[in-house]
A and B are shown apart, each in its own frame.
Chain A
Amino acid sequence: MPPVLEFEGLSKQYNRIGNRGVTALDNFSLSVEGGEVFGFLGPNGAGKTTAIHLAMGFMRPTQGGGRMLGKPFGDSKTRRRVGFLAENVALYHRPAEQLVGFYGALNGLSGSGLKRSVTEALRAVGLLGESRRNVSKFSRGMLQRVGLAQAMVNDPELLILDEPTSALDPLARVAVRELLLQFRDAGKTVFLSSHLLSEVEAVCDRVAVLNRGRLVRVGKTSDLLESGQETEIVARGVRPESFTGARAMNGSIRFSVPACSQRGALEKVWNLGGEIVSVNPLRRSLEQIFLELTAPRKGAGTGSGA
């Protein structure tokens, strides 16, 4: 199956009069497969939004290209099968129902089909009861939800979301998370750019980390979280002083060792007459990984990952 979203050696340089050009993306390549929730991470200014805008055809790349649902970026007909929510959502001031209807009509929906789609989209984001209220009176969180509704009104195959939960309260955030998982379960694809790492960790099958316009890591979320080079060992019948950094807990000790030293540590426990309770690869949070990958480095810039 061809990738749903494919960036191929994409570069984008912003030219400013009187200044040197700013490179927002540098030879960026990435493939997003169908049916996955893909997390797109990076610090501010990493180039995430630029990559998304290039995919949507809002901008033209300086170099390279890409394909969305098998068609080159910028193909207007393809966008009928795509839902998009921009960062800092900006919408026309009118009743939510009419607003979502307008965007649905722009995607070719009409008549009873449009009405049904609008109702379903507003129900999905929990705004059906507010459908006749003007969005100018909505809170920021409600605006973000109505933005999500306009992105989903055409029942898209690919949903591209730029910071979709940044203004939502925890309850609404959980609701959106469930919505995205339902979307994936229906065989659709979500491309999610977010700063909320816990959110990404909870919902994404794969993640890519972008830093200074370059891809520094891509992989399965579970693999990334377990990619630590350390193993945690819990043992009984040995003294904590025998192992560096070991802590005594409820009659057992707990310590971590580099993965390459795991065998030696286990043998030491047995030689001291102890008993192994558990051996687990140490999981790191996505936040730790993110900070490692995006921390400023001395000297040369970041290298390209996958």
Chain B
Amino acid sequence: MSHIVLIAINFVREQRWPILVLMLWIVVLSVLGLFIESRVAREDVLFIFKQGAVYGVVFAVFFGGSAIHNERKTRRILAVLSKSVGRGEYVSGLLAGIALSTGIYWFSMGVTATWILGGEGLPVPQLWGIILCLAVASMLSATVAVLFSTILNPLFATMATFVALVVPGVLALRFGSSWTNVVPAFSLISTLMGASLDAPLSIPWSLMLLGITEAICFWLGAWWIFSKRDIAVAVD
């Protein structure tokens, strides 16, 4: 367990600049809260909140899609895996690092949104339900990305992840809405996209549970594939 924590903290440390860039959205949202009469422009604030939420998921995919490849390319992975660190622990550490990075973001987003939107018609428990949905969506997306990154370079891993996340939505349009649940990241994000300050929102708890279950499956898949891979060969 301590290996996973160490690798996770190391990941956050190495990704500190992208995380800071991501946190700029919180700053933007906070500035809006300070200087804009949210009662007047509350739908605009909600729009920025939605935009920031999508960026959070996109960043999770980028983090996951490049995590293993970058470490292999720089050969820094060799020094880490020369210690008593198993391949599964390594993958788990990276995912824990992504969870930590995005977790900081979602928490900050939740606090800021509670402050700005909480009093403007969006009930606070509902808002935190949405934040939870987004956190699950980002972790599900990240595990898919890490799975692909065990075999593909960042560009292809990221592209493959987006395809895997979007294709169920496209299939749903043609064959029915149950397809969106195949990889429910899209459906979970849609929960926020459909949110309005004037209409109550139902939190899709069962979808979240499905998302968590699938994330665990993708995580185990990434673990299994990575444990079979040669990591010391040229990656390009």
A contact residues vs B (CB 8 Å cutoff) = 14, 49, 53, 56-60, 76-80, 82, 84, 86, 88-92, 94, 102-103, 105-108, 110, 147, 150-151, 154
Min CB gap B5→A, angstroms? 10
B6 within 8 Å of A (CB atoms): yes
B2 within 8 Å of A (CB atoms): yes
Min CB gap A118→B, angstroms? 14
> Could you say which of B29-37, B80-88, B108-116, B206-214 contacts chain A?
B80-88
B21 within 8 Å of A (CB atoms): no
Question: Which of B13, B76, B81, B230 is A90 in contact with, Cβ under 8 Å?
Answer: B76
Given A14-B233, A60-B230, A106-B6, check contact A77 B84 (CB 8 Å). Answer: yes
Task: Give Cα distance in the complex from A84 to B83, angstroms.
Answer: 8
15 chain-A/chain-B pairs, Cβ below 8 angstroms = A56-B78, A56-B81, A58-B230, A59-B232, A78-B84, A84-B79, A84-B82, A86-B75, A92-B13, A106-B3, A106-B84, A107-B83, A110-B2, A147-B79, A150-B79
Task: Give Cα distance in the complex from A303 to B36, angstroms.
Answer: 81
Inter-chain residue pair count (beta carbon < 8 A): 74
In the complex, the answer to whether B81 meets A58 with C-beta atoms within 8 Å is: yes
In the complex, the answer to whether B75 meets A88 with C-beta atoms within 8 Å is: yes
Min CB gap A235→B, angstroms? 56
In the complex, the answer to whether A60 meets B79 with C-beta atoms within 8 Å is: no
Question: Which of B14, B79, B80, B233 is A59 in contact with, Cβ under 8 Å?
Answer: B233
What residue of chain B has the Cβ atom nearest to residue A106's Cβ? Answer: B83
Task: Give Cα distance in the complex from A59 to B84, angstroms.
Answer: 16
Min CB gap B153→A, angstroms? 14
B contact residues vs A (CB 8 Å cutoff) = 2-3, 6, 10, 13-14, 74-76, 78-86, 89, 228, 230-233
In the complex, the answer to whether B228 meets A90 with C-beta atoms within 8 Å is: no
Task: Give Cα distance in the complex from A90 to B78, angstroms.
Answer: 8
Min CB gap B88→A, angstroms? 9
In the complex, the answer to whether B76 meets A91 with C-beta atoms within 8 Å is: yes
Q: Which residues of B contact A76 (CB under 8 A)?
A: 84-86, 89
In the complex, the answer to whether A86 meets B84 with C-beta atoms within 8 Å is: no
Task: Give Cα distance in the complex from A77 to B81, angstroms.
Answer: 11
In the complex, the answer to whether B230 meets A107 with C-beta atoms within 8 Å is: no
In the complex, the answer to whether B85 meets A106 with C-beta atoms within 8 Å is: yes
Min CB gap B9→A, angstroms? 9
Min CB gap A117→B, angstroms? 13
In the complex, the answer to whether A59 meets B230 with C-beta atoms within 8 Å is: yes
In the complex, the answer to whether A90 meets B86 with C-beta atoms within 8 Å is: no
In the complex, the answer to whether B76 meets A79 with C-beta atoms within 8 Å is: no
Task: Give Cα distance in the complex from A78 to B85, angstroms.
Answer: 10
Given A102-B6, A150-B79, check contact A92 B14 (CB 8 Å). Answer: yes
Min CB gap B151→A, angstroms? 13
Task: Give Cα distance in the complex from A69 to B93, angstroms.
Answer: 27
In the complex, the answer to whether A80 meets B79 with C-beta atoms within 8 Å is: no
Min CB gap B50→A, angstroms? 36
Min CB gap B79→A, angstroms? 6
Q: Which residues of A contact B6 (CB under 8 A)?
A: 102, 105-106
Given A59-B231, A105-B2, check contact A92 B81 (CB 8 Å). Answer: no
Task: Give Cα distance in the complex from A29 to B56, angstroms.
Answer: 52
Task: Give Cα distance in the complex from A147 to B82, angstroms.
Answer: 12
In the complex, the answer to whether B78 meets A86 with C-beta atoms within 8 Å is: yes
Q: Which residues of A contact B13 (CB under 8 A)?
A: 92, 94
**Interface-centre pick from B80, B83, B89, B233 (highest chain A CB count, 10 A):** B83
Q: Which residues of A contact B3 (CB under 8 A)?
A: 106
In the complex, the answer to whether B83 meets A79 with C-beta atoms within 8 Å is: yes
Task: Give Cα distance in the complex from A49 to B78, angstroms.
Answer: 12
In the complex, the answer to whether B82 meets A86 with C-beta atoms within 8 Å is: yes
- Report the 10 A-B pairs with minimum CB-CB distance, sorted nearest first: A84-B82, A106-B83, A80-B84, A58-B232, A90-B75, A59-B230, A53-B232, A76-B86, A86-B78, A90-B76
Q: Which residues of A contact B10 (CB under 8 A)?
A: 92, 102
Min CB gap B188→A, angstroms? 34
Q: Which residues of A contact B80 (CB under 8 A)?
A: 103, 106
Question: Apart from A14-B233, A76-B85, A90-B74, what 4 extra A-B contacts exist at CB < 8 Å?
Answer: A59-B232, A92-B13, A94-B13, A106-B84
Q: Which residues of B contact A56 (CB under 8 A)?
A: 78, 81-82
Q: Which residues of B contact A60 (CB under 8 A)?
A: 228, 230
Task: Give Cα distance in the complex from A14 to B3, angstroms.
Answer: 31
